[in-house]
């Protein structure tokens, strides 16, 4: 599957421009899965707030309206759309360079899934920093933890990319076509700054959110996109650079630029309010932090595990090279169309306690889910498909025809993404986050079952299998979340 994030999911961050949350709510709703550590059964009471039921809305509070939900949602959605544009830009440029099939397949089949999986343990550093960077002593301790964690994971990345572990671990696990083995090795080497840059960036972004400067996170996302696009354009004009090298260098330049933007933006906090902030409770200690962070990191680790599992499945099915070459571009569009729904999670966490929230949030969910899936349906069933995949993404006619056969399978995904965000947000608001992690496990198990069936039957086209795995897995995930929400409502 495509390389991080975000897909994974994701990639990566939720921006935060325009939706300022109270400090406690920021810690719980920073990302799609950020709140796992708010579960009182998983975290130390020093590190998170007590698990008390949210206060009921005041009788004199105005009713929440759909327009209020929209105002909270659109800045976050804009930031997610910016971030989700990066994979489509990469695919569009690499597809215009020589040996495009091999380089796209290496990127989507080896480099991005492996890089995502390596960085997965550090993704929730944003949520940890948001929750814990409340005074100077905690900030310094957590900065040290982020630095050493990023360094350790970068060593893991280097061992996989520069030593025989690439041949001993990655190749047997993914079983890629022979043509993409060496391009994959090169791309993974060029992505070496990825994990360290993300660890440092997310740590500083969490600090910004904790002190009410979340708009700077959206600014960093824009810096990253502009830097990546500029690098891609320069390589395209220069010519002569392999597509896999263009992708690896451009993404590394982008994440390093965003890291620098986060550091610069955070100076206004570290030189002012953070220095003046009173100490909060006892100092952080390793044991307490590990007890807090491990449950928090579990959900993205499980989620991003689907990336290499999906790539390994495509490699073991018919016409694997063509499928792996199309997958980064196809998945990029699915991610892009679903990104407004991802942004809805934090909005639900923030607004679920308002009077009239149930009706307003459900109505907005229906509008958002229908509209975002309608975009994908419109592309799948009209000449827009040829414009996007044949024009913008520059795929060959036979590749466009294959996309035409399978894209409709993904049409429920944007709506399912919005529904998942809605249900997760309700659980997070109620401080009942264990169900979120359970639902991810359900998704992973169901998706693996569908992928295994496709591999065993050698189903063709294989892209239909991986899209079906995403849809069926997401349906199961939403079903589990809905069951958890229903139990919560009955208990209340």
Confirm whether 381 is domain-assigned.
yes
pLDDT in tens, 410-463: 999 999 999 999 999 898 888 787 888 899 999 999 999 999 999 999 999 999
Confirm whether 56 is domain-assigned.
yes
CA distance 327 to 473: 18
- What pLDDT score does 433 carry? 75
% residues pLDDT > 90 (the chain): 60
Q: What is the mean pLDDT of residues 369-376?
A: 96
pLDDT interval class at 30 (50, 70, 90): very low
Query: Counting beta carbons within 10 angstroms of the beta carbon of residue 319, is it exposed (0 to 12), middle (13 to 18) or buried (19 or more)?
Result: middle
Confirm whether 14 is domain-assigned.
no
Confirm whether 13 is domain-assigned.
no
pLDDT interval class at 132 (50, 70, 90): confident
CA distance 363 to 89: 33
- What pLDDT score does 232 carry? 96
- What pLDDT score does 79 carry? 81
Q: Which domain holds residue 165?
A: 23-491
- What pLDDT score does 252 carry? 97
What does 308-338 look like in DSSP terms, one character per residue? HHHHHHHHTSSSHHHHHHHHHHHHHHHHHHH
Q: Which two three-digit tokens encode residue 253?
A: 């330049």
pLDDT in tens, 192-243: 999 999 999 989 988 887 887 877 888 888 999 999 999 999 999 988 899 9
Confirm whether 18 is domain-assigned.
no
- What pLDDT score does 42 carry? 28
Confirm whether 15 is domain-assigned.
no
Q: What is the mean pLDDT of residues 275-300?
A: 75
pTM of the model: 0.81
Asked if the peptide bond before residue 183 counts as cis, ω within 30 degrees of 0, the response is no
Phi, psi of 318 (to 5 degrees): -60, 150
Q: How far is CA 440 from CA 12, 33, 206, 294, 477, in A?
A: 17, 10, 24, 16, 6
| Helix-then-strand count for the chain, H and E | 23, 0
pLDDT in tens, 318-363: 899 999 999 999 999 999 999 999 989 888 988 888 889 999 999 9
Q: Is the confidence at residue 80, as pLDDT, over 90?
A: no
Phi, psi of 473 (to 5 degrees): -60, -40
* Structural domains counted in the chain: 1
- What pLDDT score does 335 carry? 94
CA angle 313, 376, 379 (to 5 degrees): 105
Q: How far is CA 54 from CA 353, 373, 432, in A?
A: 7, 33, 11
Confirm whether 4 is domain-assigned.
no
Average pLDDT of the chain? 85
pLDDT in tens, 236-267: 998 889 999 999 999 999 999 999 999 999 99
Q: What is the DSSP letter of 108?
A: I
Please report where in the chains the tokens 């579990």 appear, as a residue.
298
Confirm whether 462 is domain-assigned.
yes
- What pLDDT score does 375 carry? 95
pLDDT in tens, 141-166: 889 999 999 999 999 999 999 999 99
CA distance 381 to 385: 7
């Amino acid at each position: 599957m495509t390389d991080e994030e975000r897909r994974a999911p994701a990639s990566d961050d939720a921006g935060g421009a325009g939706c300022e949350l109270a400090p406690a709510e920021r810690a719980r709703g920073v990302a799609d899965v950020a709140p796992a550590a708010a579960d009182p059964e998983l975290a130390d009471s020093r590190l998170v707030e007590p698990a008390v039921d949210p206060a009921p809305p005041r009788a004199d509070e105005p009713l929440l309206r759909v327009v209020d939900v929209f105002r909270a949602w659109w800045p976050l959605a804009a930031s997610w759309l910016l971030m989700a544009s990066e994979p489509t830009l990469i695919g569009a440029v690499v597809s215009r360079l020589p040996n495009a099939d091999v380089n796209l397949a290496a990127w989507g089949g080896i480099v991005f899934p492996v890089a995502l999986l390596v960085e997965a343990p550090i993704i929730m550093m944003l949520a940890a920093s948001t929750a814990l960077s409340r005074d100077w002593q905690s900030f310094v301790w957590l900065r040290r933890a982020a630095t050493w964690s990023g360094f350790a994971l970068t060593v893991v990345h280097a061992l996989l990319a520069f030593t025989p572990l690439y041949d001993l671990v990655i190749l047997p696990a993914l079983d890629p076509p022979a043509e993409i083995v060496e391009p994959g090795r090169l791309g993974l080497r060029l992505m070496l700054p990825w994990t360290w840059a993300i660890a440092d960036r997310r740590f500083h972004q969490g600090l910004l959110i904790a002190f009410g400067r979340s708009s700077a996170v959206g600014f960093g996302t824009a810096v990253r996109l502009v830097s990546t696009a500029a690098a891609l354009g320069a390589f395209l004009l220069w010519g002569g650079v392999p597509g896999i090298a263009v992708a690896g260098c451009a993404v590394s330049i982008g994440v390093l630029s965003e890291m620098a933007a986060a550091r610069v933006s955070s100076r206004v906090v570290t030189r002012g309010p953070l220095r003046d902030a009173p100490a909060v409770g006892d100092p952080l200690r390793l044991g307490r932090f590990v007890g807090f962070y491990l449950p928090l990191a579990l959900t993205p680790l499980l989620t991003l595990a689907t990336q290499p599992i999906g790539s390994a499945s495509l490699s073991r099915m018919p016409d694997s090279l063509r499928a792996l070459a199309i997958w980064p571009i196809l998945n990029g569009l699915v991610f892009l169309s679903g990104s407004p729904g991802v942004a809805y999670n934090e909005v639900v966490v923030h607004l679920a306690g308002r009077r009239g929230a149930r009706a307003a949030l459900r109505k907005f969910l229906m509008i958002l889910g229908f509209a975002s899936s309608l975009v994908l349906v419109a592309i799948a069933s009209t000449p827009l498909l040829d414009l996007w995949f044949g024009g913008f993404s520059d795929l060959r006619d036979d590749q466009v025809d294959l996309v035409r056969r399978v894209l409709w399978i993904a049409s429920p995904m944007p709506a399912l993404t919005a529904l998942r965000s809605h249900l997760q947000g309700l659980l997070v608001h109620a401080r009942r986050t264990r169900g979120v992690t359970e639902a991810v496990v359900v998704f992973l198990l169901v998706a693996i079952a569908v992928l295994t069936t496709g591999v065993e039957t050698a189903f063709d086209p294989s892209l239909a299998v991986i899209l079906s795995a995403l849809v069926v897995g997401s349906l199961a995930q939403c079903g589990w979340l809905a069951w958890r929400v229903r139990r919560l409502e009955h208990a209340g």
